[in-house]
Amino acid sequence: MDARKEGLPRNARFSAQQPRLLSLTPFFIACAAYFLLRVPDDPPSWVGALVKCLPVLTLAGFLRTCSGGDCSAVLQVALLFSALGDICLVWPQAFLCGVLAFSQAQLLYTWVFGLRPLRLGLLLPVLLVSLPFSGFLLSRLQPDMALPLAAYGLALSTTLWRGLARGGRARWGATLFAISDAVLAWDTFVQPLAHGRLLVMATYYAAQMFIALSAFQGPRLKTH
């Protein structure tokens, strides 16, 4: 099968091997540990940062042991950038470093999902939702944060578009990631939400799991 005809990067190879659910046991245990040990009022600490990023690190390890090819390798790097972002966001003073790390992860997700076929029809609803929300959010930010977060919003919207175009698990992963970040932005910059951070992390971990599993859904893009 010619990857170019399927709209994927030439060197992206997806694994035909389907993982067993048991292989994700470390991820589920790490998620449970985060939600059980999480104390919202705890001061930032390296222990807290490790517990927060551990589920994503287990997904990177899962891909290393269960998959192969360039697609898996790129996703592993993206997950490591995400874990770095998780660590940075534990400390408020490192917020922009976290945004930079997650921006790099989004670019790598977009690379893996592929840029063809474009499916411009999917871009319109993404823009109709993301542009008004981003404009409202940017109006509430300090000037020094507006540009980095605008750039991140663009990267996230692109990932969402390409995830929807790819379909399957990639669609779910990209959608949940966008929901997680939208809730986080509202909770942080607009108005605190009841159980907001719990919802942010639940959708975030689910998003990363689906994106990791997209390495196994095969190279064919859904076209309808």
Return the closest-CA partner of residue 219 out of 4, 6, 32.
6
C-alpha angle with apex 203: 14 to 94, nearest 5 degrees? 95
Instruction: Write the DSSP string, 158-211.
Output: HHHHHHHHH-HHHHHHHHHHHHHHHHHHIIIII---TTHHHHHHHHHHHHHHHH
For the chain, the structural domain boundaries read 21-216
User: What's residue 224's pLDDT?
Assistant: 39
Q: What is the DSSP letter of 139?
A: T
Structure token pair of residue 6: 């399927």
Say what the pLDDT of residue 39 is: 77
**Euclidean distance between the first and final Cα of the chain, in Å?**
20
10-residue mean pLDDT profile of the chain (224 residues): values are 42 54 92 90 91 97 81 94 97 96 98 90 95 94 92 97 96 98 95 93 98 81 40
Q: Give the model confidence (pLDDT) of 190-221 as tens digits.
A: 999 989 999 999 999 999 999 999 998 765 44
pLDDT of residue 18: 66
- Distance between CA atoms of residues 155 and 174, nearest Å: 11
**AA letter at 90:** V
Say which amino acid occupies 92: P
Mean predicted lDDT score pLDDT of the chain: 88
